[in-house]
């Protein structure tokens, strides 16, 4: 099963970012992300075997228990692989980067120790807002995103999410939260 571990911003932060992007969406031939899919990926696992799911969940609960809550704000933006050849446009994050990176490393380690493959290179936290099927110059969009500053919120939890490809609106993925893990909570299962 295709899964990821991620942080879902609160509705107020999602609505604020969506309201900022809405009047601008019609001016670019990009595939804009659905607001209900806005998230910060901590670990992407392209194929989680059923037999590893319980152990993975237990280890994620242990990770959550060891990490305190922290503040985050969606602000600014960027592009992958770079602004001149962008295929992904994203909103950036203002947060305690060390805490967020440590949480992501803990989630990735929990996956690996549970026998779950973790994909991706170095950790670069972000919220994907749009994609392009071909490389495009994103300089104009980066200037626009640099003007954005959303509300601050406290990260209190993260989720293990199943990603069902092609089952969402307009053949996008459909996300299903499998389990929620509260930061700073005692791990009990």
Report the chain's mean pLDDT, rounded to a whole number: 93
Q: For each of the domains in the chain, give its residue range(s) and CATH number, in order of start.
A: 3-182 (3.90.1140.10)
d(CA 173, CA 171): 7
User: 186 pLDDT band (50/70/90 cuts)?
Assistant: low
Q: What pLDDT, in 10s, does the model give residues 77-94?
A: 999 999 999 999 999 999
- The percent of residues in the chain predicted with pLDDT above 70, rounded, is 94
**What is the distance between the alpha carbons of residues 123 and 97, in angstroms, rounded to a whole number?**
11
**DSSP 8-class letter at 50:** G
Q: For residue 124, how many other CB atoms are within 10 A of its CB? A: 14
The CA-based dihedral angle spanning residues 175, 98, 81, 119, taken in that order and rounded to the nearest 10 degrees: -50
What is the arithmetic mean of pLDDT over 87-106? 97
State the pairing for strand pair 3-7/31-32: unpaired
**Which of 48-52, 159-163, 165-169 bottoms out in mean pLDDT, i.e. has the lowest?**
165-169
Position 98 scores a pLDDT of: 96
Predicted local distance difference test score (pLDDT) of residue 188: 44
Q: What pTM, to 2 d.p., does this model score?
A: 0.92
In this predicted structure, what is the pLDDT of residue 49?
Answer: 96
Kindly report the number of other CB atoms within 10 A of residue 25's CB atom.
12
Is 89 within 8 Å of 129 (Cβ atoms)?
yes
What is the pLDDT at residue 120? 80
Taking the C-alpha atoms of residue 7 and residue 38, their distance in angstroms, rounded to an integer, is: 9
């Amino acid at each position: 099963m295709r899964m990821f571990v991620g942080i879902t911003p609160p509705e107020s932060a999602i609505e604020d970012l969506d309201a900022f992007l809405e009047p601008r969406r019609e001016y670019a031939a990009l595939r804009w992300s659905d607001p209900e899919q806005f998230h910060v990926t901590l670990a992407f696992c392209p194929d989680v075997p059923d037999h590893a799911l319980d152990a993975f969940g237990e280890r994620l609960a242990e990770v959550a228990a060891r990490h305190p809550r922290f503040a985050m704000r969606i602000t600014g933006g960027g592009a992958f692989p770079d602004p001149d050849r962008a295929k992904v446009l994203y909103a950036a994050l203002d947060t305690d980067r060390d805490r967020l990176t440590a949480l992501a490393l803990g989630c990735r380690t929990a996956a690996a120790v549970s026998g779950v493959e973790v994909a991706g290179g170095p950790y670069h936290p972000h919220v994907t807002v749009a994609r392009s099927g071909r490389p495009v110059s994103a300089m104009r969009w980066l200037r626009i995103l640099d003007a954005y500053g959303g509300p601050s919120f406290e990260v209190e939890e993260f989720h293990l999410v199943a990603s069902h490809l092609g089952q969402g609106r307009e053949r996008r993925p459909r996300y299903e939260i499998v389990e929620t893990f509260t930061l700073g909570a005692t791990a009990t299962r």
